[in-house]
A and B are shown apart, each in its own frame.
Chain A
Amino acid sequence: MLRRSFGLLLLAFLLPLGSATAQDEVTLTLVHPWAGAERALFEPVLRAAEEALGITIDDTVLRIEEHMVLLPTQWAAGTAPGDVMFAGEPGLVRQAHAGGHYVDLRLVLDADDFTPGVLEARTIEGMVYGAPFTHKPKPGFFYRVSFFEEHGLTPPTTWGEFIELLDTMLAIDGIDAPIASGNGAGWPLADTAEHFLVAFGGPQLQMELAQGVAPEFAWDLVGAIYRDVLVPMLEAGYFAEPLEWTTALERWWRGDHGIYFMGTWILGMIDDPDDAAVFTIPGTLGITTSVDYMVVNAYSDHLDEAIELAAWLATEGQRLQVQEGGHIATYHPATDPDLYPPAEQSVVEAMEGAVFLTGLHDTVGGEFRETLLDQLQLLWVAPDAVDDVLLNVREAWERVTGGSQ
């Protein structure tokens, strides 16, 4: 009797627990690349997603270099580090397509809702693998308005004025080098070099290189831009020695450097975004940008919720994210300039009319990305190695894309 009573009591105790478990919120692991200040800007979006979708998000940081190592081995075991991951690197997407590791999102994303070409960039054989999040344009060289005013400097309108500006800054006491050079894994240098390619080779050159269809002479043009523009500038001491990019950001902001080629994300990382302004190399017709893509892990235990989260972040999530600063939407309803902080409104306006270009290393990806980033770190400190740099970069590009047309 006592035993039966105890059994009933236990059952009565466990039953509500069981029903509570069934009603428990689903916990999804979201893997993104942002830490520190960048993560703080993403936090409100995460909390809003939890509230809107009735899920719990456990977010963790992994960068693309880590994904490239982790994912192929985890796929072999039928798993991945997260349900939704910012792991839309083109090389990984190609591998995932071949092995069925990412979920096709074409049913939940409509190309008409996004900036033209964005969804297509992660589409293979009609299957959409990347849910676009915001993008971060790299509009040009950022400068402090107060710094320019203090030293009587003005943004250049011609190439000659640009060089004149650099020479003037070189002569200012306390200026280490006119242009800050960010480093880390090499991407800030790649972004800078791409800006020169777009400025001197035109948007077409960038597009053909990114799409892997550049004709033979395109590489002659790349070589000429590197040898005749970048190398003389490096040798003249216009660029600073590469420093970890956030350290370089601090140095630029405190006046050790006059200008810094970066993306809009730095506007969310500086004390007074209204004191920052940007100019391109005069005559530049295109602006490169890097879109952050989410993918849904095909091995997720909560596939429906993961797809729902990716779709929400790609749409409503963008609307919230842009209000935090540092991000520009790829989702049309979130491109209204009124949504943006004042510092970004000028960037959004500057994007209008400019040719939208995806970053070269982000688009080609794979071995090309790693080689380009590595070789530019060499070029920045050893400009005389330009021929080796060009050879290595071109070989990697040919291996990934299949070669010149």
Chain B
Amino acid sequence: MQTLRRFTFVLPTLALVFAFAVYPALQTIRLSLFLPTGEFAPLANYAEVLSDRRVLNLAGLSQGRFPMGSLVHTFIWIVIHLPITALLGLVLAVLLQNVRGGGFIKSIIFMGMVIPGAVGGLVVRFLFERDLGIVNQLVVLLGGSARTWTAYPDTALLSLIFGSVWLWTGFSLVLYSSGLGTIPRDYFDAAKVDGANELQIFGRITVPLLRPITVVVVVMSIIWALKLFDYVYAATMGGPGRATQVLALEIWHLAFVRGNFNQAAVVAVLLGVISLTVSIPMLRRRR
């Protein structure tokens, strides 16, 4: 009886989860197995999408030049963006922990999280613009020559990745800041009594005890990078020459530009599989 009552309370949430998450996910998987003509062809769409230069450009990859395909671009994004934002967030959280006005500085850094991705994309576009961008003013000051960094295939993706660091660092900063507050002061005091220096305390106490937070930061950052759309769309629309095309933008392209919802579903399924493959083991390890 009690189980039934509990189940009754959970039922509305379950219904919503089923209607807005499970059912669409199942439909997406089903869609990916059919051709636009309605013919059941479980592998055809997957083979076509994975052999499309837009998704995986082996020639570009082997020569080390952009575009390399949205799958590779997304991977590059994660590999560069994740460590920078996580490390920056951690370092800033530690540095601002006991600083007067630290909360205010954290709020400013966190503003990047509040700004819509599309606005962030526009801001970054202008940051790297040849005449108006602050980046070029620094480059010229250092003796370099100015150019619109997002306009060139070899620098466009990296510009977007570095430009997005300020948008996402606030997330890891806030998590690490709250995580630092949960570490008992006694640990730090004991370490100091034992003669440990600041670096040793950071490496032996702070970092290990923040591991659960790090797992969340890593998983969320990967998911954020995988579903990145608005920021790239506003900054470069995936160009020039698809050099900044990422997976979520690829879904949009296939569905709304090419009009092939089945192929779009394939990329969505791949995106889901990658997200789950990364996040499930990490969240399990957290337990």
* Chain A positions 88 through 119: 1 when the CB is less than 8 Å from some CB of chain B, otherwise 0: 00010001000000000000000000000000
Q: Which residues of A contact B157 (CB under 8 A)?
A: none
Q: Which residues of A contact B152 (CB under 8 A)?
A: 381-382
Q: Which residues of B contact A242 (CB under 8 A)?
A: 148, 151
* Number of interchain pairs (Cβ within 8 Å): 71
* Chain B positions 135 through 157: 1 when the CB is less than 8 Å from some CB of chain A, otherwise 0: 00000000000011001110000
Report the stretch among B35-43, B185-193, B255-263 that lies at the interface.
Answer: B255-263
Given A243-B148, A374-B239, A375-B241: A68 and B131 within 8 A (CB)? no
Of A72, A183, A241, A377, which is within 8 A of B241 by CB? A377
A69 contacts B259, CB within 8 Å? no
A381 contacts B259, CB within 8 Å? no
**Residue on A with the closest CB to B240?**
A377
B contact residues, total (Cβ < 8 Å): 23
Q: Which residues of A contact B53 (CB under 8 A)?
A: 392
Tell me the bound Cα distance from A367 to B52 in angstroms: 15
B202 interface hit (Cβ, 8 Å):
no
* Chain B positions 101 through 130: 1 when the CB is less than 8 Å from some CB of chain A, otherwise 0: 000000000000000000000000000011
A277 interface hit (Cβ, 8 Å):
no
Of B129, B151, B239, B241, which is within 8 A of A385 by CB? B241
Tell me the bound Cα distance from A186 to B147 in angstroms: 18
Identify which of A244, A381, A389 gathers the most chain B CB atoms within 10 Å of its CB: A381
A60 interface hit (Cβ, 8 Å):
no
Size class of the A contact interface (CB-based, 8 Å): 20 to 34
B30 interface hit (Cβ, 8 Å):
no
Given A68-B256, A367-B258, A382-B152: A243 and B241 within 8 A (CB)? no
B73 interface hit (Cβ, 8 Å):
no
A378 interface hit (Cβ, 8 Å):
yes
Of B129, B130, B151, B259, which is within 8 A of A366 by CB? B259
Of A68, A251, A367, A382, which is within 8 A of B153 by CB? A382
Q: Which residues of A contact B259 (CB under 8 A)?
A: 72, 91, 95, 366-367
Question: Shortest beta-carbon distance, A67 to chain B, in Å?
Answer: 10
Q: Which residues of B contact A186 (CB under 8 A)?
A: 239
B239 contacts A377, CB within 8 Å? yes
Q: Which residues of B contact A377 (CB under 8 A)?
A: 151, 239-241
Tell me the bound Cα distance from A65 to B239 in angstroms: 14
Question: Shortest beta-carbon distance, B251 to chain A, in Å?
Answer: 11
Of B240, B243, B257, which is within 8 A of A367 by CB? B257
Q: Which residues of B contact A243 (CB under 8 A)?
A: 129-131, 148
**Residue on A with the closest CB to B241?**
A378
A370 interface hit (Cβ, 8 Å):
yes
Question: Shortest beta-carbon distance, B27 to chain A, in Å?
Answer: 13
**Residue on A with the closest CB to B254?**
A367
Question: Shortest beta-carbon distance, B200 to chain A, in Å?
Answer: 49
A241 contacts B256, CB within 8 Å? no
Q: Which of B230-254 contact A (CB under 8 A)?
A: 237-243, 252-253
Q: Which residues of A contact B153 (CB under 8 A)?
A: 378, 381-382, 385
A374 contacts B242, CB within 8 Å? yes
A388 interface hit (Cβ, 8 Å):
yes
Q: Which residues of B contact A302 (CB under 8 A)?
A: none
Q: Which of A34-78 contact B (CB under 8 A)?
A: 65, 68-69, 72
Q: Which residues of A contact B256 (CB under 8 A)?
A: 68-69, 72
Q: Which residues of B contact A382 (CB under 8 A)?
A: 152-153, 240-241
Tell me the bound Cα distance from A183 to B129 in angstroms: 12
A374 contacts B151, CB within 8 Å? no
A27 interface hit (Cβ, 8 Å):
no
Of A68, A247, A378, A392, which is within 8 A of B257 by CB? A68
A247 contacts B241, CB within 8 Å? no
A332 interface hit (Cβ, 8 Å):
no
B242 contacts A69, CB within 8 Å? no
Question: Shortest beta-carbon distance, B196 to chain A, in Å?
Answer: 53
29 A-B pairs (CB sep. < 8 Å)? A65-B237, A69-B252, A183-B151, A185-B237, A241-B147, A241-B148, A241-B151, A243-B129, A243-B131, A244-B129, A247-B132, A366-B257, A366-B258, A367-B257, A367-B258, A367-B259, A373-B239, A374-B240, A377-B151, A377-B239, A377-B241, A378-B241, A381-B153, A382-B153, A382-B240, A382-B241, A385-B153, A385-B241, A389-B241
Nearest first, the 3 A-B pairs at minimum CB distance are A378-B241, A377-B240, A378-B240
Given contacts A385-B153, A392-B53, could you give 10 more A-B pairs where the C-beta distance is less than 8 Å? A65-B237, A69-B252, A95-B259, A241-B151, A247-B131, A373-B239, A374-B237, A374-B240, A377-B240, A392-B242
